[in-house]
Amino acid sequence: MKKLTELYPEVNSDVLIKNISINSKEVEDGSLFVCTMGATADRHNYIDDAIKNGASAIVVSRDVPQKSVPVIKVPDTNRELPYLCQKFYDYPDKKLKMIGVTGTDGKTSVATIVQTLIGSDLCGYIGTNGRSCAKFSGDNPNTTPDSHNLYNYLEEFVRFGCKYASMEASSEAFFRGRLQSMEYDVSIYTNITSEHLNIHGSLENYIDSKLMLFRQTKKEGFCILNRDDKYFEVVKAACNGKVLTYGLGEENDLQIVNFQISPTKTDIVFKYKNQEYNVESPLLGDFNVYNLAAGLLAVLSLDFSMENILKKVKDIKVSGRLELLNTNTPYFVMVDYAHTPNGISKLLNFVNGLDIKRSIVVIGQAGERDNLKRPKVGNVVVENATYAIFTYEDPRSEDPQAICEDIIRELKTTHSNYEIVIDRREAIQKAIDMAQEKDIVLILGKGNETYEKLKNETIYFNDIEEAYNAVANRKIKEEVKTKED
């Protein structure tokens, strides 16, 4: 809590500010309402609603009529917001070692790996799976939250004794200016494939937004790069800190010497400073070998010892990522967040190498997002899975049927191993009911998220819970049938 004069000394008001908000519906007594420009909304239009809900002051970037509370005018409210929040929460990012992870795939896994290797008593996590440290956990509305939430979360970490923060740094967050006030001690790059073109307009713009993480890395900091990704040289050229690399070649600071993947673990040999380390990882898939390498090298750059952090590898668990459910059935059920063509392809390649019979995939594509990748996703799924059930996935204002038609646009004359079941709960149930012994049902796109964004509302929905419910429903139906027979 601060007096308004502590934030804006030129304003002749000692009114108390309890929090900062950019949504008039979330304003409460003592809020400072900042009229940012959203993708579809101008918050200047909601000033009266904010005051009605208890706002103590308003920050604007254009002239507005006189109000009953102080009004502060700044050149650009969007640019103002992160610096204002940084100041309001007493610069928590300066009190933490900031670790940012960017890339098309793997951000959640790498950020979670880093937290686990350092220890959740010392390191907080912010990303798609919420926010957490040893003392608390909570939801998070975005992969990288808006500045007023982000700095609030970082202040929580400081208050609970954390010394590090491991966060997912999305391209959209840089594009929206949420992270422009922040410097990073360690920045991590996983990979880049075409994604979010609806926001960025072009692949070049998308890449440029991701490069902001490395431009905002401290000169004395470290940039952890995947040398085996095709955009390595582009990312390297943008690095402000010291570059460290991981990958298959001997020229890497952390070399992936070899690895062997089984259905329950991955055995890996890493080489670091001329010494080889045999590592048994609970993470599955070749992509997770790279994710673990990125996390290890990042933590090593912070002066942790290899011997100590390797002891924590066994504890790594990334919720909603390659999560094999304990269904006690002759078939398997797995939930994963994969939603990009590249991520889905890598996942299915891994699954196809297991001792299974058929793969049944439940997947959709988000509304109001990059519609150019929808047919690419459709192609990848039907070409690499036995059967696909396309369904809704955060359709927002778009017609879910139309989204699914986009997905199958290029498949109608070439494939028949798919169907559309719009309702996601029904789609999951159908996939579970289809599964036979040694089949695997893959429910993709949402991971452990707990919501679906529909046209006029956001509802509670969790793929893991729905999968368990579907398995239970099937067992009940089979028991009834057995009794009837």
Domain boundaries, the chain: 2-77, 92-315, 323-481
- Average pLDDT of the segment spanning 403-411: 96
Hey, which of 196-205, 272-281, 361-370 has the most confident mean pLDDT?
272-281
| 454 in Cβ contact with 398 (< 8 Å) | no
- Quick: pLDDT tens for 414-427: 999 999 999 999 99
- Average pLDDT of the segment spanning 369-383: 93
pLDDT of residue 432: 98
Among 53-62, 122-131, 175-184, 376-385, the least confident range:
175-184
Burial class (CB in 10 A: 0-12, 13-18, 19+), 264: exposed
CA 134 from chain centre, in angstroms, equals 20
Asked if residue 168 has pLDDT above 60, the reply is: yes
- Average pLDDT of the segment spanning 387-391: 98
Going by pLDDT thresholds of 50, 70 and 90, the confidence category of residue 198 is low
pLDDT of residue 54: 97
Asked if residue 194 has pLDDT above 60, the reply is: no
- Average pLDDT of the segment spanning 343-351: 92
Q: Which among 222, 196, 90 is positioned nearest to 144, based on CA atoms?
A: 196
What is the C-alpha to C-alpha distance for residues 123 and 312, in angstroms, rounded to an integer? 14
Asked if residue 203 has pLDDT above 90, the reply is: no
| C-alpha separations of 115 from 26, 96, 142, 174, 305 in Å | 30, 13, 19, 22, 15
- Average pLDDT of the segment spanning 164-191: 92
CATH architecture of 92-315: 3-Layer(aba) Sandwich (3.40)
| 389 in Cβ contact with 431 (< 8 Å) | yes
- Quick: pLDDT tens for 214-273: 999 999 999 999 999 999 999 999 999 999 999 999 999 999 999 998 878 999 999 999
Concatenating the DSSP letter of every residue in 265-282 gives -EEEEEEETTEEEEEEES
- Quick: pLDDT tens for 279-337: 999 999 899 999 999 999 999 999 999 999 999 999 999 988 888 999 999 999 999 99
| 215 in Cβ contact with 240 (< 8 Å) | yes
- Enter the pTM of the model: 0.86
pLDDT of residue 463: 97
Share of the chain above pLDDT 70, in %: 98
- Quick: pLDDT tens for 125-138: 999 899 999 888 88
Going by pLDDT thresholds of 50, 70 and 90, the confidence category of residue 199 is low
2-77: CATH topology: 3.40.1390
CATH code: domain 323-481 is 3.90.190.20
Going by pLDDT thresholds of 50, 70 and 90, the confidence category of residue 357 is very high
Query: How many CB atoms neighbour CB 251 within 10 A?
Result: 9
CA 58 from chain centre, in angstroms, equals 31
Beta strands (DSSP E) in 391-477 are 418-420, 440-444, 451-453, 458-460
- Average pLDDT of the segment spanning 173-187: 90
Asked if residue 200 has pLDDT above 70, the reply is: no
Asked if residue 196 has pLDDT above 60, the reply is: no
What is the C-alpha to C-alpha distance for residues 418 and 380, in angstroms, rounded to an integer? 12
pLDDT of residue 201: 58
Asked if residue 469 has pLDDT above 80, the reply is: yes
| Composition of the chain by helix, strand, coil, percent to 5 | 35, 25, 40
Q: Write the CB contacts of 391 (distance below 8 Å, at least 6 apart in sequence).
A: 362, 363, 364, 400, 404, 420, 421, 422, 423, 424, 426, 427
Rounded to 5 degrees, what angle do the CA atoms 314, 461, 366 make?
90
